[in-house]
Amino acid sequence: MTAVVFIAELSGAPTLAIPQAAAAQLPKSGRARVIVLTDDSPADAEWRTAAYEQFLRDDPAEDAIYERLR
């Protein structure tokens, strides 16, 4: 499987424009799997940041027993 990666501007229309440079890399016929990735919403980014900060915090003293199991 070959990947062709490009950035497209979404306009609200039900179509997605493929830049000419990316289209030139595509085969003339056949099937393609299309995956559209968009930026996270601000709420998702805030949640992800808070979860990461919580993950990096030191464990409480009662959990220190697990440090010996490494």
pTM for the model stands at: 0.51
Q: Is residue 30 part of a domain?
A: no
Give the separation between CA 67 and CA 63, rounded to whole angstroms.
8
- At CA 47, angle to CA 34 and CA 59, rounded to 5? 125
Shortest CA distance to 26 belongs to which of 62, 1, 51?
A: 1
* pLDDT tens-digit series, residues 3-12: 999 998 888 8
Range of the domain at 67: 40-70
Helix (H, G, I), strand (E, B) or coil at 65: helix
**Domains in the chain, number:** 1
* pLDDT tens-digit series, residues 31-51: 999 998 887 777 788 888 888
Q: Is residue 54 part of a domain?
A: yes
Q: Is residue 68 part of a domain?
A: yes
The answer to whether 35 touches 28, Cβ cutoff 8 Å, is no
Residue 22 DSSP one-character state: H
